[in-house]
Structures are given as structure tokens and as C-alpha cells.
Amino acid sequence: MNEILKPAAGDDIVTCDACPVLCRIRTGRTGACDRYGNVAGKLTRLDPFVITQKIAAKDGAVVPFAGKDWDGKIVPDAPLFVTGVGAGTTYPDYKPAPFIVSSNHQGVDMVTVVTEGIFSYCGVKVKIDTDRYVGPETAAVRVGGEQVGHVTTAEYGSQMLSVGGVRHLTGGSKKEGVVTCETLLKLCSGEAVEMRVDEGATLTVQAGKAPVINGTQEERMRVGCGSATIGIFAKQWFGHVDEVIVVDDHITGVLTEHQAGRFLDMPLAGIRVRGRKSTPGRYFQVAEPGTGWGGTNVQDPLEIIEKIDIKHAKPGLRLLMVSTTGEHSAYFVLDAQLKPQKAAMPAHLNMTVERIGENCEPALTTVLFMAGAGGSLRAGVTENPVRLTRSVKDALTRVTSGGAPVYVWPGGGITFMVDVTTMPAKSFGHVPTPAIVAPIEFTMRREDYAALGGHLDSIRRIEDVAKADRLQVQQWHDHGPWPGAPLPKDAA
């Protein structure tokens, strides 16, 4: 139970109508989601309502307030933006949104419509910067044994998970829905979540932090695929080595066959690797995916050498084998029988291996929340919801989430994605339907709000809203354009 509630005299029950659960809440208690409570017989949204403020902004940059520590109170004359965090919901949505706020930005009258959306259609896309194998594409991702998502298409240097979505929230067992909802809430709130991939790895992922795979914290994402690594470093290897093989789960590169080696007039070394040749010096499927060299299952790099061609190879030939992060490397010299013999790595080659590592960016986990605001939520903004959708598509209305910039997908509806690390702390909640609660704001010029059939009678001035109870003022974090500004085409 939320600490701030104190039992009051009497035992009045209030019914919360902020979501379909319709909790009946006794005095001093909270509803099932802990977001609403019965405070002395009155239904009350309990968490702080977050307003963000551009403190002492000069030329668009945020500078310390008058050289002193900011005391957390509203600073007169600094721009304010009302976020949806803690704003509450209106259910069913035919009622106007909880806050419809007017403000003025550089002489333009603006309106921001603010609510906490309840999203059954939502999930997160998790980007894990590693070439380490996490599991087969489409494999189930589980938390506490329940499937909460799946491995999806890998991206350049990163493994990708899709977690949540309406099928796991509502289409499976009750437990699957509950665990999925809890997982989403933790990921969106920046907490660590431990997951297991069927036929794959155990993962600990946390937004903005390095992933942990099979108990080992990842340090680097790869510099590029094997072919790209050849392209980047070919000139630095030229003259110091006769062949370089960059081992990679996706594209293994072979320097003397590769276009880069051809341009440098390097003679073919005659070392053939396994796998399917794609184009010169670029090989697919040299090994199975795994946790060895370059995201393959290779522990000894010589395993991927299929044959050494006596037509080109010579005793004394110098061979460097390296992974795409520089984490694995080995140097060989061919003996009289053309067998690679391990040798001490020359200093120059060692420097190039270290430089591969230096060029790898730190491995991070990124969590993008994705949800559809194209449903009934729009009715809290306008009597004619399709006009809101059109206004967003026509770039007349800016969509933000907790003031953070979002990407709105083209096509139907208002399906958006937002980086959870750019949002205020505690932006997310849940209801037991189950669904995720997230802030959303629609900002537009007042005349455009009138044109889309907005609830004009419900507009309140920002100065009045700024006097609301349970207000929390947070300094604008400057992650994107000021959310209260007119869209660029209007400002032009």
C-alpha cells in the first residue's frame, strides 16, 4: 500500500473509473495498480504530476539557474511543459483528457493535450550491442519460464529482441500476461531483467547499461562485419602480413581475395576458408553461431580453414586471424609443410588488433517502448478522432511521451516509439487488465486544435495547472526539441 495514505475516519468506498478494472477502494487504501487511492473518501491520483521546465534557458541552451542550485520550484518566466507523467487517465475516453493546457511559445498560442494512455497494444524493442550469439531468430524469450517475446532480426553489430505485444499480454494464460506486463514495466523503468532464450543464452538486460550474456558483461560492439573490418584496416596491414582472416558469424573477410587486397595488389595467399563464398573475400556460414570467435562457435580459428592451396601458399607466409571486436586474435606462420604454426604477434599487428578494439563502441542495451495511440485515447483529444491522426500525419501536431521526442510510424493509426532513457523517471505504470500505462502529449497551435474538433471548453491555462497539487517540477533534460514549441514548419 502506498505510504502517503493514512486511514481516515469512516470507511467510505470509492470506485475508481480510470480503467476498466473499476476497483472499489476503501478509505486509506489504493487500487490494484497503486496509482489511485481513496484519500479521505476522495479518489486521488497518488504519484507526482510532472511538469518540466527549461530553467534559465539562453539561446536554446540550458544553463544553471542564476549560478545557484535550483530549489525544485517553478522558475518565473522560464518555459513550462505539462507532461502526461502522473496526469491520470480518463476512461472511457469520450471524456476530455485529464489536462488540456494552453500556453504561449514565442508569441504562438499552443495547446497541449495530456494523458496517461493505457496501452494493451504495446511492447519494447530491445537492441543488445553484441555479436555474441543469443539464440536462433524467432526463438522464445522467457522470464520466469513464461514466454514474453522472441529473438528478432539481428541488426548491424546488435542482437534484437521483441518483448511484449498484445498476444503475450492478453492472448495466452493469465500468468503469461502478468509476467509480460511486469517485464515491460521493469524494462521501461530502467530496471534489469533476467531472461532466457530457448536454445540460446541467458541475458540480463537493462536500458542504457551493458548487457550481460551467459553471466559475462559485454564490453564492446563489433567494429563492423568481417568484410567491413578488412575494408577499414587493409592499408594498415599491407606490408606487415601476407593474409588476414577476420572471423565473423555473418561475413568472414579474407584480405587477399577481398576487393581491398586486390586494390593493394596483394598476391593471393591460397588459404581457403569454409562456408559459402558470397563475393570475393567475403564468406557466409564459416561456422555455426555461438559464443566463440566473432559470434561463431569457433574456439580454435584454424577450424575454419578448409584447405591451403600449394599454388599460392608458401612456407613462411604470415597469417593474422582476428575477430570483429579484436577480442580474439592469433598470428601464424606457415611451416615447410604449409601448416600454420602459432607465433608471437609482431608489435605492428598487435597495434592493429588493439585499434580494432578501440574502434568498437561500448556495448549498450537500448529499450524502445512502442505503442499504438490510434484507438479510443484520441477521443480524449477531439470529438472526431481521425482528425487527430491526420493532424499528426500532416505534421501539425507533435507527439511526445513524458516530453521526450517519439518516432511516429507512417501509415494508419498513431503508432509510436520512444527511447525510455529520455523520459522522466517513473513515467510508466500498469493496470491489471493487463496493460502498460505511459504518458502521451499532443501539442499543436490553438487554431489547429479548434480545427480538429478539440475539447475547447476544457482548456486550462498553464499558469493555473502549475498550481495543481502533487506537482513535481523537473528540469528539462534537453533530449530533443522543446516539446511545447510549434512544429518547425509553423515556426518558419
Least Å distance, CB 166 to ligand SF4, is 18
| Contact pick of 27, 36, 356, 370 for ligand SF4 (by CB under 6 A) | 36
| Contact pick of 13, 22, 456, 491 for ligand SF4 (by CB under 6 A) | 22
Q: How far is CA 126 from CA 87, 184, 203, in A?
A: 27, 11, 12
| Contact pick of 5, 23, 228, 435 for ligand SF4 (by CB under 6 A) | 23
User: Which residue, judged by CB position, is nearest to ligand SF4 in the bound state?
Assistant: 31
Least Å distance, CB 96 to ligand SF4, is 18
Least Å distance, CB 203 to ligand SF4, is 30
Q: Which residues pair with 363 in a beta bridge?
A: none
Least Å distance, CB 431 to ligand SF4, is 4
19 binds ligand SF4 (CB under 6 A): yes
- Cα–Cα distance, 194 to 149 (Å, whole number): 13
Least Å distance, CB 290 to ligand SF4, is 45
266 binds ligand SF4 (CB under 6 A): no
Residues in contact with ligand SF4, counted by CB under 6 A, come to a total of: 13
Least Å distance, CB 325 to ligand SF4, is 46
Regarding beta strands 471-475 and 49-53, do their DSSP bridges make them parallel or antiparallel, or are they unpaired?
parallel
C-alpha cell at 381: 483529444
- Cα–Cα distance, 423 to 327 (Å, whole number): 34
Q: Compare residues 435 and 462 and give the one whose CB is closer to ligand SF4.
A: 435
- By CB atoms closer than 10 A (0-12, 13-18, 19+), residue 79 is buried
What residues between 385 and 444 interact with ligand SF4 by CB under 6 A? 431-432
What residues between 313 and 372 interact with ligand SF4 by CB under 6 A? none
Q: In what order do the strands lie in the sheet with 158-164?
A: 216-217, 212-213, 202-205, 193-197, 140-143, 146-155, 158-164, 122-128, 365-372, 415-419, 407-408
- Cα–Cα distance, 83 to 462 (Å, whole number): 12
Asked whether 86 and 60 are in contact (CB, 8 A), the reply is no
| Contact pick of 5, 27, 29, 35 for ligand SF4 (by CB under 6 A) | 35
Computed on alpha carbons and rounded to an integer, the radius of gyration of the chain in Å comes to: 28
Q: Compare residues 79 and 96 and give the one whose CB is closer to ligand SF4.
A: 96
What value, to the nearest 5°, has the Cα angle with vertex 370 and ends 364 and 375? 170
Q: Compare residues 121 and 293 and give the one whose CB is closer to ligand SF4.
A: 121
Pick the stretch among 33-41, 131-139, 170-178, 334-342 that binds ligand SF4 (CB under 6 A): 33-41
Least Å distance, CB 246 to ligand SF4, is 54
Q: How far is CA 413 from CA 22, 218, 375, 386, in A?
A: 27, 38, 8, 9
**DSSP secondary structure code for residue 376 in this structure:** G
Q: Compare residues 30 and 389 and give the one whose CB is closer to ligand SF4.
A: 30
Q: Compare residues 241 and 379 and give the one whose CB is closer to ligand SF4.
A: 379
Q: Which residues pair with 400 in a beta bridge?
A: 405, 441
Least Å distance, CB 216 to ligand SF4, is 40
Q: Which residues bind ligand SF4 (CB under 6 A)?
A: 16, 18-19, 21-23, 31-33, 35-36, 431-432
